[in-house]
Amino acid sequence: MKAFVFPGQGAQFVGMGKDLYDNHEVAKSMFEQANEILGFRITDIMFNGTAEELKQTNVTQPAIFLHSVILAKTLGNDFNPEMVAGHSLGEFSALVAAGALTFEEGLKLVSKRAAAMQKACEQNPSTMAAILGLEDKVVEDICASIDEVVVAANYNCPGQLVISGSNAGVDKACEMLTAAGARRALKLPVGGAFHSPLMEPARVELEAAIKAAIISAPICAIYQNVDAMPYSSPEDIKANLITQLTAPVRWTQTVQNMIANGASSFTELGPGAVLCGLVKKVDKAMTCEAKQA
């Protein structure tokens, strides 16, 4: 079975999507439509901006979404998934590519999500850190022992877990996890504590927009971040999208479940090849092709 996966924030690079814009009329039309919907020329930042401009959450999230969704569109009949999944923001890309959301509605939701997350970051200065070389349970237990907001946020692959929380909580956790034998405890250059309780204001703000959105049954099951299980029901999909902002991304478990349910190959659509790297760390024998244009 063919599995298609869609990356989240962090995969962006200056120049992303330009080949698509230059070489596909449908891509050019969709990018121009996006500029109108967003009210600014995001293509100028994507193609010719600075890395600093591109890493602002309100730019990064729609940029990665656009690259992924438009790339899927240009593949035509070669986009023939039997299962899909997306990492965090990538879940929205997966839903549009799989026909559950329209392009316009998906982009508006992503833009609202990015703005709500940016606002939550400004309300609560906070951060994230990658922890390498420890068992998940060790990381979870140490985070739970700290009298600050700090939680396991992204289960990326075996031995790589990202924690998220207040600046003090993440600093304390990094210190304790290093003492417990972590190979690395590396603070990440992100705007705030994504997928933690500190995103509650963003979850509340986005809930109404997601509830009001028209979501159809996708062309195949989507494995969602909150519990790594496959869903096709629009109501379930909406509920999981709302929970996603404050819940961890269970990517390791998602890939494991997709493979257990018959995935024979993975294709990553979007900037970079981050997810292919994670798929290979979950299962060395699995093939994964990353497409950017």
**C-alpha–C-alpha distance, residues 270 and 276, integer Å:** 11
Q: Are residues 96 and 141 in the same domain?
A: no
Residues 23 and 110 in one domain: yes
d(CA 41, CA 190): 23
Does residue 56 lie within any of the structural domains?
Answer: yes
Same domain, 235 and 159: no
Of 88, 93, 166, 196, the active-site residue reads: 88
DSSP annotation of 56 reads S
Kindly state whether residues 113 and 239 are assigned to the same domain. yes
Asked which of 156, 187, 218 is the last residue of a domain, the reply is 187
The confidence score (pLDDT) of residue 177 equals 98
Q: Could you read off the pLDDT of 196-237 as tens digits, one per residue?
A: 999 999 999 999 999 999 999 999 999 999 999 999 999 999
Query: Going along the chain, which residue ranges are E strands?
Result: 2-6, 83-86, 126-132, 150-157, 160-166, 184-187, 221-223, 230-231, 265-269, 287-291
116 and 133 share a domain?
A: no
Residues 37 and 136 in one domain: no
The confidence score (pLDDT) of residue 57 equals 85
Q: Is residue 54 part of a domain?
A: yes
Q: Rounded to whole angstroms, how far apart are CA atoms 103 and 276?
A: 25
Q: Which domain holds residue 116?
A: 2-120+197-291
Asked if residue 285 and residue 226 are part of one domain, the reply reads yes
The verdict on 225 and 100 lying in the same domain is yes
Last residue of a domain, one of 157, 187, 217: 187
Which of 139, 166, 187 terminates a domain? The answer is 187
Ranges of residues in the chain with a pLDDT under 50 are none
- Indicate whether 192 belongs to any domain: no
- Options 67, 126, 195, 196, the catalytic residue: 195
**The pLDDT of residue 158:** 96
pLDDT value of residue 108: 97
* Residue 257 and residue 281 in one domain: yes
Q: For 249, list phi and psi in degrees, rounded to 5.
A: -90, 110
Question: H helices of 145-288, where?
Answer: 167-179, 200-212, 234-244, 251-260, 274-282
What's the CATH number where 29 sits? 3.40.366.10
Active site residue 195: yes
Quickly list DSSP for 20-37. HHHH-HHHHHHHHHHHHH
Domain membership of residue 182 (yes or no) is yes
Token couple for 264: 């024979």
Q: Over the range 134-161, which residues count as b (16 or more CB within 10 Å of their CB) and which as e?
A: bebebbbebbeebeebbbbbbbbbeebb
Judge if 112 and 129 occupy the same domain: no
Structure tokens at 241: 């999208």
Angle, helices 251-260 vs 274-282, to 10°: value is 60
Shared domain for 212 and 171, answered yes or no, is no
> Domain count of the chain?
2
Q: Tell me what pLDDT residue 239 has.
A: 97
Residues 138 and 232 in one domain: no
Instruction: Examine the residue annotation and report whether 88 is marked as an active-site residue of this protein.
Output: yes
